[in-house]
Amino acid sequence: MTSHLLSFVLFLPLAGMLALLAIPAENRRLIRIWANAVSIATFLLSLCFIARFDLNAGGYQFVERAQWIPSIGAQYLLGMDGISLLMVLLTTLISAIAALSSWRSITERTKMFYSMILLLETGVLGVFLSLDLFLFYLFWDVVLIPMYFLIGIYGSERRGYAAIKFFLYTLLGSLFMLLGFLALYFEYAAQYGVYTFDLQKLMSLNLPLRTEEWIFFALFFGFAVKVPMFPLHTWLPDAHTEAPTAGSVLLASLLLKMGTYGFLRFSLPLLPKASTQTWIVHLMVALSLIAIIYGALVCLTQRDWKRLVAYSSVSHMGFCTLGIFVLNAKGLAGSVIQQVNHGITTGLLFLLVGFIYERRHTREISEFGGVAQVMPFYATVFAITVFASAGLPLLNGFIGEFTILSGAFQVNLWWAVVGVIGMILSAAYLLWLFQRTMLGPLKLDENRSLHDLFPRERLLVLPLVFLAFAIGIYPRPLFAVLEKPVQNILMRVAPGRHSGIADSSPAAPPDRNVSAQETVARASEAAERVDFSNFAHTESTACEYVLGAKRTFSAACSAYWRPALAAATPVLTQRAGSKLPAGTMNRAPRLLYRSTFSSLIQGEAR
């Protein structure tokens, strides 16, 4: 079983769905018991990954490979790294909670509802575990079908419109993504003479910058629609508002993470040149910052409780994409942690909105007020969730947003400033929501008869509340799990920045066990690769090795960084002189030393 643990976890919900179809539709109680038992069993089985996961392994673990469609080079290829581990655990936990939350609320077409929940879980797990692009695309599109039916059949008044809008937006995005995958597929065949969708093999591609840019934006449309990034977000508020409670929880906690996961797993490692182009990075960051501010401002104008939470997802997911495209260790790690945090807190918010809707059958904020007087446990959980979502210290939201903003600050002060403004606006609309609904006098008689959370409902929210505190107080295990995958991504997109989450300075050496002689040799080799097209503003890779040597060897550092600089200087001077305009070649040594020592000084300041 150990060798096929990924497959067991992946297909257990699907097997449970097939068995569910054999249960008579009239036996609703047995249907509920079976579906919840399968989802809980999947979660418990996924916990085995925690015990078996090796934090020191640099690549994918639990890899399963089998030939699937050899004629086109498609394989059944699964694997897991630290990012996948967190996403899988989040998926199995939230799926179990979503299934149990529907015990009373779904009374019609119960079999179909729970079948769609289990099918959706398999689809999402497949997305997070696939290492073959064809298999990934298959699971990506499988997810659309159950969510379409969950919204279209079990949603509110405008469920048909919301379901079609969701389906068309995400299907169109996935078609662009497929075009990007096919481009990589044929480019690999052109270079190596073999057709494959294997992710690890495709990483060996060396594509022209313009080709990478076209493929990047093909993938961008697929992933950005799912996140969703501004301005491709317009389907999300309608889908959230009209979906049933379980559908909203699954959509916010799981489906949105598929988009950010796609950027981390495919866009950055497969397209490192395009992903680090300044104008592309600035565009991605600008869209992320707009989403943060725009989503928060729209939240301040909402009258519908559920729609406010929906727009908050636009704002909070903006932090996740911001962390990805600052392209340093803190930003990437903070992005993944914030994705997990968003799945916990926003899923909890949608659960709480669903509980109150089942009692009052309205989501208008003006219809509430003073609810804490009759539902004190509910109000306490809601307060904790609001504070966690707003980024209060000692709760999970603070860890993710603080780490992302730390990474952004290292790159650009103003990116961090805009992010902080977004956090302030987030606290404003969330506290405004809490005040209007929970505090003050009981304005309506209908609210006086509201019952506090039932034992089943308390069982649903308490694990998420516990995780909010656990991550906020002791996030170290998450950072440890993410250390290796973050380094692997940075080795692809920014070779000088993969020093680790705790110290993400771009000047750290790739290998801290490197000898002094090897450091000198690397500095000289790096000098041969320096691009002097804009020499006066260049910070060479050689300088990073020089500074890395100085940091690595501590007390004896002066004995190593000076020889490294001396070894690199002649090559740099000669190559720089050949690139400079006529009449300025004699300035090459002076420009070189000014650039080199400027890099050293700036690195030490960091």
Looking at 506, 522, 537, the residue that finishes a domain is 506
Looking at 464, 481, 506, the residue that finishes a domain is 506
**Among the listed residues 537, 483, 101, the one whose alpha carbon sits nearest the alpha carbon of residue 329:** 483
Number of domains in the chain: 2
Please say if the pLDDT value at position 583 is more than 60: no
Looking at 204-208, 511-515, 522-526, which range is the least confident one?
511-515
Higher local confidence (pLDDT), 528 or 504: 528
Same domain? For 502 and 556 the reply is no
Domain that holds residue 543: 507-605
What is the spatial distance between Cα 587 and Cα 543, in angstroms, rounded to a whole number?
A: 19
Whether 130 is in a domain gets the answer: no
- The predicted pLDDT at position 246 comes to 92
Cβ of 315: how many Cβ atoms within 10 Å?
Answer: 24
Same domain? For 480 and 348 the reply is yes
Same domain? For 529 and 492 the reply is no
Whether 36 is in a domain gets the answer: no
Interval 281-294 mean pLDDT: 96
Same domain? For 451 and 532 the reply is no
Same domain? For 488 and 529 the reply is no
Q: Which two tokens stand for residue 70?
A: 């050899």
- The predicted pLDDT at position 25 comes to 87
Percent of the chain with pLDDT over 90: 70
The pLDDT tens digits of the residues spanning 424-447 come to: 999 999 999 999 999 988 888 888
What is the spatial distance between Cα 166 and Cα 309, in angstroms, rounded to a whole number?
A: 17
Same domain? For 355 and 444 the reply is yes
Please say if the pLDDT value at position 356 is more than 70: yes
User: How many residues are present in the chain?
Assistant: 606
Task: Read off the amino acid at residue 58.
Answer: G
Q: Are 335 and 320 in contact (CB under 8 A)?
A: yes
Please say if the pLDDT value at position 526 is more than 70: no
Same domain? For 430 and 540 the reply is no
Interval 47-70 mean pLDDT: 91
Same domain? For 497 and 519 the reply is no
Q: pTM of the prediction?
A: 0.81
- The predicted pLDDT at position 507 comes to 36
What is the spatial distance between Cα 190 and Cα 170, in angstroms, rounded to a whole number?
A: 30
Looking at 113-127, 155-169, 393-407, 562-576, which range is the least confident one?
562-576
Whether 78 is in a domain gets the answer: no
Interval 259-288 mean pLDDT: 94
The pLDDT tens digits of the residues spanning 223-263 come to: 999 999 999 999 999 999 999 999 999 999 999 999 999 99
Same domain? For 437 and 487 the reply is yes
Same domain? For 345 and 472 the reply is yes
Please say if the pLDDT value at position 38 is more than 50: yes
Please say if the pLDDT value at position 530 is more than 60: no
Whether 340 is in a domain gets the answer: yes
Same domain? For 427 and 484 the reply is yes
Mean pLDDT of the chain: 84
CB under 8 Å to 356, separation ≥6 — which residues? Answer: 305, 368, 371, 378, 450
**Among the listed residues 500, 473, 480, 505, the one whose alpha carbon sits nearest the alpha carbon of residue 489:** 500
What is the spatial distance between Cα 41 and Cα 85, in angstroms, rounded to a whole number?
A: 17
Helix (H, G, I), strand (E, B) or coil at 72: helix
Alpha helices in 243-304 (DSSP H): 245-250, 256-262, 268-270, 272-275, 278-299
Whether 368 is in a domain gets the answer: yes
Same domain? For 384 and 461 the reply is yes
What is the spatial distance between Cα 487 and Cα 606, in angstroms, rounded to a whole number?
A: 20
- The predicted pLDDT at position 278 comes to 92
Whether 123 is in a domain gets the answer: no
Cα maximum dimension of the chain: 90
- The predicted pLDDT at position 547 comes to 43
pLDDT band at residue 45 under the 50/70/90 scheme: very high
Looking at 462, 481, 506, the residue that finishes a domain is 506
Whether 392 is in a domain gets the answer: yes
Q: Indicate the DSSP class of residue 195.
A: -
What is the spatial distance between Cα 200 and Cα 353, in angstroms, rounded to a whole number?
A: 43
Alpha helices in 361-412 (DSSP H): 376-390, 396-411
Whether 450 is in a domain gets the answer: yes
Phi-psi region of 361 (alpha: psi -120 to 50; beta: other; left: phi over 0): left
Interval 290-312 mean pLDDT: 93
Interval 167-172 mean pLDDT: 93
Helices (H) and strands (E) counted in the chain, each on its own, are: 27, 2
The pLDDT tens digits of the residues spanning 103-114 come to: 888 888 899 999
- The predicted pLDDT at position 156 comes to 84
Looking at 79-83, 113-117, 563-567, which range is the least confident one?
563-567
- The predicted pLDDT at position 369 comes to 87
- What is the per-residue DSSP string for 3-70? GGHHHHHHHHHHHHHHHHTTS-TT-HHHHHHHHHHHHHHHHHHHTHHHHH--TT--S-EEEEEEEEEG
